[in-house]
Structure 1
Amino acid sequence: MMRLFLVGVALLTLSMTGCKSKTSTNEGGLRVFITYATFRPKCMTLAVEDRRDAARRESGVVTVDAEARSDTRVGVILKQAGWSPDLRVIAEAHEGSCEGPVIARQSADVQFPEENLTDLKLDLRAEDLDDDGFFAMKGDFPGTDCDDTRTDVHPGATELCDGVDNNCVAGESDAPGEVQYWVDADGDGYGDASTTPQVACAPPQGHVTRAGDCDDDDRLVHPDQQEFRCDGKDDNCDGASDNDAFGVGTACLTEQRCTGTRQCQSTEAATCVSTAQTFEYFADDDGDGEAGTSLGFFCEEPEQEATRENNDCDEGTSLVSFVGTTEVCDRLDNDCVGGVDNGLTGCAAVAWNERTVLDDTSARYDAVANYGEGLGWLVGRTGHVIHVNDNTFRPATNCAGNWRSAWAAPNGRVFLGSNDGRFATLMPEELSTACETRPSGQPAAINGLVGFTDPNSNVFTVYGVSSQGHVLSWSYDHGAGSQPAPTIVTQLAANLRAIHGLEAQSLFVVGAEMVNGESRPAAWSSPQTGTTWTREALGLPETTTGLLNAVQVLTSRLVYVAGDHGLLLEKSRDAWTPKPVLTVNGGTVPNLRAFIAFGRTGIYAASSEVNDLHFFNGTAWSVVATPSETVNALGGFGPGEVWATGHDGLLTRWTP
């Protein structure tokens, strides 16, 4: 229901609906729609004049919604006795009250209809951008607001001595002049506190309201900032030189954990300086009780259990240390004294024992899985699965598939990964029965496997990786009647080739990802929490191409990866570093297809281009054997038992 007014014999205010209707006598009338938008009128009026006699004029107040910035009000004008039909209808909006200035007006000349209602629309527009109830001083109907962008500026506002005419009256002449100004000689916005301030409303030339400048000849020196030069001066006027970010003169610890004091290193930086003596500290990263990983030079232990005694020359294996270790024939310097295999007569002459497994030159083996001394499995294409017990070789007769990967549990159970995405498993005593197989849930080749044994049960959990970037898992309960299906742990945007880890919570996977149409080497580590795998920052040039083909975790702090273009990388603690690139045939760089590491100083690798078995002693590469056929996979139960298998049924072993 709206409040409307009616012009008839006299001007009245009535309550009517806004719907169009007719009077009972069908008399003529004007229905006036008054629309306003973007402002809140404090008073709105509607007037009607007889254009033939200006003395005939009636007007009234239109009720408005005080909260509405946009609305439409409706009024009805009926015939007035003695008036001509030539009328002028005028709508006005006022600022503040009906006595306030008109800030919007629209009129229309109309002919009064003889019968029925005729609609007339009037549109009022005014500008109150800051919505403070006062309107801008512009246009044909200016308001009284001298700054329509600020709610604190309008008639009646409190005048402040702030450079603004807050109440739109006589500038700041009516503001109290109680502001102090200090001379600012260097123009940095801060005045010289040693001078006497001037009191004024507007700042005198060269004066500012902020004091505290301790050097008014240098515009870079003033309060409200940090020290920005390490130069023995007070840059921020807080009474101290080179404090804040520099902290010169304060006690500190150097990166070597030595007590010192902070000193200026340059005008841009300070550093902790100490004259204390440092010592080299070492850590036991392979858990054999003896430390050999250099942590650098420090004044005190850089980490728990660090020691100044260097008793381990290979922190990648527990088989090497100065203390309590006997030299054995395994190409490692076990006692860290006198070189590799020192004092072992005939060790250097031990040959690799090469043979064709089961005299089957049609076989191709792509994986080897050892689970004890002299014990293991060879697996490959066209259903070739062989159990090895020293010199006894027994084939599985019912295990069809092109097998790409394998892992053997301590009880001899082998798990296989196929070219078409299947898992399989069998025991050494089940060679004449069919392999137990399970689809992995994805069709791509399972290129690598690693597994773990639950110490509290008979459950083995194997993890595999696929050419389409899947990380897969299969938990197998040895002896149970039924087994759960494998699951997909995650999928990475990569061609994954290998997986390894010492426990399920710290896995590494390697392969390649596509970047601008090229394969780029890439590695990921499993999450400690959550589900997001971490892409390892290998530190390779962006132009490096090819695959990472193999990965091996030696300790919780030592990981190796190998791949195309002779690439061998070591992750020691958190840092990846490249090792010397393998070259063959007068400088040719082959792809590293497979490798097995028994420590920092005992790494075997098979490559493309040649059939050689390569050995890396931590410093340089050498050739230790040249099999008659191509090697696809390497394995072994320890550094004194190394297996290599590949094309044409090849198996060659070094077992001193």
Structure 2
Amino acid sequence: MMRLFLVGVGLLTLSMTGCKSKTSTNEGGLRVFITYATFRPQCLTLAVEDRREPTRRESGVVTVNPEARSDTRVGVILKQAGWSPDLRVIAEAHEGSCEGPVIARQSAEVQFPEENLTDLKLDLRAEDLDDDGFFAMKGDYPGTDCDDARPDVHPGATEVCDGVDNNCVEGESDAPGNVQYWVDVDGDGYGDASAAPQTGCAAPVGFATRAGDCDDEDILVHPGQSEFRCDGRDDNCDGTPDNDAFNVGASCVTAQRCAGTRQCQSAEVADCVSALVPVEYFADDDGDGQAGTSLGLSCQQPEPGATTERNDCDEGTVLVSFVGTSEVCDRLDNDCAGGVDDGLPSCAAVSWHERTVLNDPSARFDAVANYQAERGWLAGRSGRVVHVAGNTFTAATNCAGDWRSAWAAPNGRVFLGSSDGRFATSMPGELNTACETRSSGQPGSINGLVGFPDPESNVFTVYGVSSAGHVVSWSYDHGASGSQPDPTIVTRFAANLRDIHGLSAEALVVVGAETVNGEQHPVAWSSPQTGTTWTREALGLPETTTGYLNAVQVLTPHLLYVAGDHGLLLEKSRGTWSQKPVLTVSGGTVPNLRDILAFGRTGIYAASSEVKDLHFFNGVAWSTVATPSETVNALGGFGPGEVWATGHDGLLTRWKP
């Protein structure tokens, strides 16, 4: 069945049977046969114009069979009221859609018949040899297919870099793989920034697909790298020479806090250079109002309170400074005049006074704790606890235990640590009553004690360390009438701990040794200022160092000393550990240091186990200040002018000017 289009008052579509149909009257009409071959028109139109009045025009779309490459379509044109008989009939085929380009056209000028149908034939020809729906670009009505022999080449096809204009648009310039390239003389992969680029799907030999080379004759100079020479040249072509790692010309501050600019020091190095002259600053670490710890050279105050005046020669004690101190007999250079005790006649005559406590040569004392001038406690094996007031010695009558450590509160109350993990406490006026004891909750020997009074109450909190690695605490209310709370375990380390000290509960240091491959190695931890994690101290010792750290004393927030086996004396000053000269005695013996008593950087006493000597370190060298008759186990005192030493066979020797 054919579909015919009739042009009348309106554009109508009629269905007719056969190809030679007649209207219902004998009125005239034009029957148009539109023939096409070798292509599939996406849109076929039929139009009629009044040649005498071209504004009179009617057109319609002719339905086609999309499967047929050759066909004939029929349309009938009826008389239009008011039109002249002089007509022009036009048939057109379009590519793509009715809005697409015309790819075939034929027209004819005819006289409209008064009666009966007159046949008119219009023949359309166009080429779509590859049957891709796009027509060859040739003839009077060219299509858009730039290669009508390839069905994969036509407008809208995907452009690729294959040497073919796949989508018939500007060759391969719009291919996704299309690149620009520049001449690359030095072969560093970057093209000359000053050269005009070329375009193609691939860069030929001697060209690069990256531009920006500011020196195309030096293979080392190109973008995409850091400056590698400090020489005033732009190595990475970013427009600025010697930037990146060198940052030449940038404002900076030297290590000595002096404002300056970065400048080349060599082809490899740039540094901050300042015309300002730094000066030395000093800090007051011991809190006596006078500064003596060097903070190095600086153009700015390195920390609050730092001063350029040095008026203290020992920042480990408030008893020494250039200002406001007089020389006394204490083995310190109190006035920083360069001489210890300045030859005071009263000092030269002072000697150590030795005695056997309570005439008990079987006693062994392992701890001493002072709380006032000439007052303190001795504690040791087999329940021996003795209060000392000048030359008066009073024994506690019921304080059973092997006591290894002691600490005395300012009011005279003593706290003890035993070999079986117990705490005990007593007062000078309670020596005839039993010591109050508490288990620490762990079985190890409590080897060291330190305590802190609460300034707003009668509570004293003591901290101890054990041979099993525990840190334990006991808070004791001196004014309470009822029972006291039990001690608590603060933390535990995989170590044998020997001593503990600090200026507050938030600034404790514990020392001892840990076992590694069957050997003991020195170790220390510091307490956390916040949280619960203790810090393992990096002592700076060789990994092969063996033995125990036996004693620790903290002098200021910035200074502490640690002593141990093999004559070891370590100093931690402002966060940095350093080793002091190893103690060596006559015959080349290097003894183990059992205890230390430090009164500053220039006044440190030590007791050793191999010899009976009492040793003194003045900040530079060791010397012997006394040789007691018995072995010394512990040191104490109420300042550098009052030193106690106690040990085997009831020994107590004191240096009191």
Mapped contact 1:363–1:380 kept (Cα < 8 A): yes
Q: CA-to-partner distance for each residue in 1:326-348, whole Å, 9 max, x for gaps?
A: 11111111111141111521302
**Corresponding residue for residue 56 of structure 1:** none
**Corresponding residue for residue 354 of structure 2:** 354
**Corresponding residue for residue 470 of structure 1:** 470
**Corresponding residue for residue 541 of structure 2:** 540
Aligned length: 497
1:303 maps to 2:303:
yes
Residues 1:402 and 1:542: Cα distance change in structure 2 (over 3 Å): same
**Corresponding residue for residue 385 of structure 1:** 385
Output the CA distance in 1 between the equivalents of 2:430 and 2:350.
35
**Corresponding residue for residue 323 of structure 1:** 323
**Corresponding residue for residue 190 of structure 1:** 190
What is the CA-CA distance between 1:529 and the residue it aligns to?
A: 1.6
Output the CA distance in 2 between the equivalents of 1:330 and 1:239.
69
Q: CA-to-partner distance for each residue in 1:329-387, whole Å, 9 max, x for gaps?
A: 11111111141111521302211010000011111000000011111100001101001
Output the CA distance in 2 between the equivalents of 1:439 and 1:618.
41
Q: CA-to-partner distance for each residue in 1:547-595, whole Å, 9 max, x for gaps?
A: 1100000000001000011110111101111111111122211111111
Residues 1:158 and 1:635: Cα distance change in structure 2 (over 3 Å): farther
**Corresponding residue for residue 282 of structure 2:** 282
**Corresponding residue for residue 525 of structure 1:** 526
Residues 1:157 and 1:560: Cα distance change in structure 2 (over 3 Å): farther
SS state at 2:308 partner: coil
1:613 maps to 2:614:
yes
**Corresponding residue for residue 91 of structure 2:** none
Output the CA distance in 1 between the equivalents of 2:609 and 2:516.
24
Mapped contact 2:227–2:245 kept (Cα < 8 A): yes
Output the CA distance in 2 between the equivalents of 1:307 and 1:260.
23
**Corresponding residue for residue 66 of structure 1:** none
Where do residues 260-271 of structure 1 align in structure 2 (5 Å cutoff)? 260-271=260-271
Output the CA distance in 2 between the equivalents of 1:649 and 1:525.
35
SS state at 1:605 partner: strand
**Corresponding residue for residue 62 of structure 2:** none
SS state at 1:334 partner: coil
Residues 1:323 and 1:444: Cα distance change in structure 2 (over 3 Å): same
Output the CA distance in 2 between the equivalents of 1:177 and 1:463.
76
What is the CA-CA distance between 1:177 and the residue it aligns to?
A: 7.0
Mapped contact 2:371–2:409 kept (Cα < 8 A): yes
Mapped contact 1:341–1:347 kept (Cα < 8 A): yes
Residues 1:626 and 1:158: Cα distance change in structure 2 (over 3 Å): farther
Question: How many percent of aligned residue pairs carry the same amino acid?
Answer: 79
What is the CA-CA distance between 1:538 and the residue it aligns to?
A: 1.0
SS state at 1:346 partner: helix
What is the CA-CA distance between 1:185 and the residue it aligns to?
A: 2.9
SS state at 1:288 partner: coil
SS state at 1:648 partner: helix
What is the CA-CA distance between 1:201 and the residue it aligns to?
A: 1.4
**Corresponding residue for residue 498 of structure 2:** 497
What is the CA-CA distance between 1:281 and the residue it aligns to?
A: 1.4
Q: CA-to-partner distance for each residue in 1:248-268, whole Å, 9 max, x for gaps?
A: 122222111222221122333
SS state at 2:494 partner: coil
Residues 1:262 and 1:437: Cα distance change in structure 2 (over 3 Å): same
Output the CA distance in 2 between the equivalents of 1:236 and 1:494.
56
Where do residues 403-552 of structure 1 align in structure 2 (5 Å cutoff)? 403-480=403-480, 481-552=482-553
**Corresponding residue for residue 581 of structure 1:** 582
Output the CA distance in 2 between the equivalents of 1:640 and 1:339.
16
SS state at 2:630 partner: coil
Where do residues 573-652 of structure 1 align in structure 2 (5 Å cutoff)? 573-652=574-653
What is the CA-CA distance between 1:202 and the residue it aligns to?
A: 2.0
Output the CA distance in 1 between the equivalents of 2:215 and 2:517.
58
Mapped contact 1:161–1:179 kept (Cα < 8 A): no
Mapped contact 1:469–1:492 kept (Cα < 8 A): yes
**Corresponding residue for residue 558 of structure 2:** 557
Q: CA-to-partner distance for each residue in 1:208-230, whole Å, 9 max, x for gaps?
A: 32211112233332223221222
Residues 1:342 and 1:160: Cα distance change in structure 2 (over 3 Å): farther
Output the CA distance in 2 between the equivalents of 1:625 and 1:631.
11
Q: CA-to-partner distance for each residue in 1:271-307, whole Å, 9 max, x for gaps?
A: 1112322222111110000011111122232222111
Output the CA distance in 1 between the equivalents of 2:157 and 2:263.
55
Q: CA-to-partner distance for each residue in 1:84-137, whole Å, 9 max, x for gaps?
A: xxxxxxxxxxxxxxxxxxxxxxxxxxxxxxxxxxxxxxxxxxxxxxxxxxxxxx
Mapped contact 1:558–1:570 kept (Cα < 8 A): yes
Output the CA distance in 2 between the equivalents of 1:247 and 1:161.
44
What is the CA-CA distance between 1:242 and the residue it aligns to?
A: 0.8
Mapped contact 1:284–1:292 kept (Cα < 8 A): yes
Mapped contact 1:231–1:242 kept (Cα < 8 A): yes
**Corresponding residue for residue 94 of structure 1:** none
Mapped contact 1:398–1:435 kept (Cα < 8 A): yes
Cα root mean square deviation, aligned: 2.2
Mapped contact 2:178–2:202 kept (Cα < 8 A): no
SS state at 1:586 partner: helix
SS state at 2:596 partner: strand
**More displaced 10-residue stretch of structure 1: 216-225 or 435-444:** 216-225
- Return the letter of the residue paired with 2:352: W
Residues 1:374 and 1:209: Cα distance change in structure 2 (over 3 Å): same
Output the CA distance in 2 between the equivalents of 1:605 and 1:162.
90
- Return the letter of the residue paired with 2:646: T
Q: CA-to-partner distance for each residue in 1:170-212, whole Å, 9 max, x for gaps?
A: xx99936752111223333321111221100122223232211
Residues 1:360 and 1:476: Cα distance change in structure 2 (over 3 Å): same
Output the CA distance in 1 between the equivalents of 2:202 and 2:291.
75
Output the CA distance in 2 between the equivalents of 1:162 and 1:263.
53
What is the CA-CA distance between 1:477 and the residue it aligns to?
A: 1.1
**Corresponding residue for residue 64 of structure 2:** none
**More displaced 10-residue stretch of structure 1: 433-442 or 196-205:** 196-205
- Higher Cα radius of gyration: 2
SS state at 2:530 partner: coil
Q: CA-to-partner distance for each residue in 1:601-625, whole Å, 9 max, x for gaps?
A: 1100001221000011111111110
What is the CA-CA distance between 1:161 and the residue it aligns to?
A: 5.8
**Corresponding residue for residue 247 of structure 1:** 247
SS state at 2:335 partner: coil
**Corresponding residue for residue 24 of structure 1:** none
What is the CA-CA distance between 1:316 and the residue it aligns to?
A: 0.2
**Corresponding residue for residue 131 of structure 1:** none
1:216 maps to 2:216:
yes
TM-score of the superposed pair, with normalisation by structure 1: 0.73
- Return the letter of the residue paired with 1:540: L
Output the CA distance in 2 between the equivalents of 1:274 and 1:174.
57
SS state at 1:638 partner: coil
Where do residues 4-23 of structure 1 align in structure 2 (5 Å cutoff)? none
Output the CA distance in 2 between the equivalents of 1:377 and 1:620.
31
Output the CA distance in 2 between the equivalents of 1:564 and 1:596.
16
TM-score of the superposed pair, with normalisation by structure 2: 0.73
Output the CA distance in 1 between the equivalents of 2:159 and 2:553.
78
Output the CA distance in 2 between the equivalents of 1:229 and 1:385.
75
What is the CA-CA distance between 1:483 and the residue it aligns to?
A: 1.4
Residues 1:478 and 1:214: Cα distance change in structure 2 (over 3 Å): same
